[in-house]
Amino acid sequence: MSLLRLSSVLVLVSAIAPLAGCEQENTVDPEESAALTRPVAQFEFQGASNDTSSGASGAVSSGNRTGEEVYKTICTTCHATAVGGAPKTGDADAWAPRIATGYDTLVQSVVNGKGAMAPRGGSTDLADAEIGRAVAWLANQAGAQFTEPPVE
C-alpha cells in the first residue's frame, strides 16, 4: 500500500517537474541566471589563479582614488540631489558657510559623520586621503579653492 502511494507520488512529481521547469525557463531572464552563477565562477577563478588583487579591487579601496572618482562612486548619491539636507554639489550658497569653517573641519565632518551623513559617507573602506581629496573636489565645485591632496 505504501509502495503504491510512493509510486503515485513519484508519478505526480515527474509529471509536474517538467512543467515547473518549463515555466521557469520562460520567466527567468538569462541575464538574471547569469548573475546567479557568476559569484561562484569568480570564486573558483580566484582560488585557481591565486590572484586576489583583481577580484577584490571592487570591494577594497586602494586608497588611490582621486577626489572626483570618490565623489562619483560614493558622495554623488546624496550630494548630487541634496538628499537628507546635504549641501548640493556646486550650490555656492549652500556651501559658503560650510567652506568658511575650513577644510579640516569639513574633512572631520565626513570622517566622523554629520547629520544624515554617516561616518566616511557610509563607505568604511574609504581611506583618509581619499576623503580629503573628495572634500576638496566637492567644495571646489561650489567655489572653494582647496588644494586636493595629490594621489601618491
> Residue 104 and residue 72: Cα distance in Å, rounded?
21
Residue 71: CB minimum distance to ligand HEC, A: 6
State the residue number with the nearest CB to ligand HEC.
Answer: 115
Which stretches of the chain bind ligand HEC, using CB under 6 A?
70, 74-75, 77-79, 83-87, 98, 101, 105-106, 109-110, 114-117, 121-122, 131, 134-135, 138
The residue among 46 and 109 lying less far from ligand HEC, judged by its C-beta, is 109
The residue among 66 and 77 lying less far from ligand HEC, judged by its C-beta, is 77
Closest CA to 135 of 118, 120, 125: 120
Instruction: Let me know: does 142 contact 92? Beta carbons within 8 Å.
Output: yes
Q: Say if residue 126 is exposed, middle or buried (CB neighbours under 10 Å; 0-12, 13-18, 19+).
A: buried
Residue 125: CB minimum distance to ligand HEC, A: 11
The residue among 46 and 61 lying less far from ligand HEC, judged by its C-beta, is 61
> Residue 93 and residue 89: Cα distance in Å, rounded?
11
